[in-house]
Structure 1
Amino acid sequence: MAWSSSPASAPRNQGLVIPDDWPGYKLDLFTFPHHYSEDLECVFIPHGIITDRTERLAKNIMNDIGDNYITVLCVLKGGYKFCADLVEHIKNLSRNSDKFISMRVDFVKVKSYCNDQSMEEIQIIGGEELSKLTGKNVLIVEDIVGTGRTMRSLLSHIEKFKPKMLKVVSLLVKRTQEGHGYRPDYAGFEIPNIFVVGYALDYNEYFRDLNHICIISEKAKAKYKV
Structure 2
Amino acid sequence: MSDHYQLIQECIDRAIAAEQARSRFRRSLHDTLPNLHRSIQLPQRDAPLHITCFVIRYIQVIPAWLQRLDQLCDAGGLDFHPVRELILHSFSEIPERQPHEHGLGSILDEAYLAHRTMEEINDVLQPICGTPLLPMDPMVANLVVRELLGETLACQLDDLSDLLMRRFEPAEMDPGRLVSMILYKQRYDDAPGEWPDFANHMQIELRMPALNRQADLSH
TM above 0.5:
no
TM-score, normalization by structure 1:
0.30
Structure with bigger helix share is 2
Bigger-Rg structure (1/2): 2
Q: What TM-score does the superposition give when structure 2 sets the normalisation length?
A: 0.30
Q: Which has the higher strand share?
A: 1
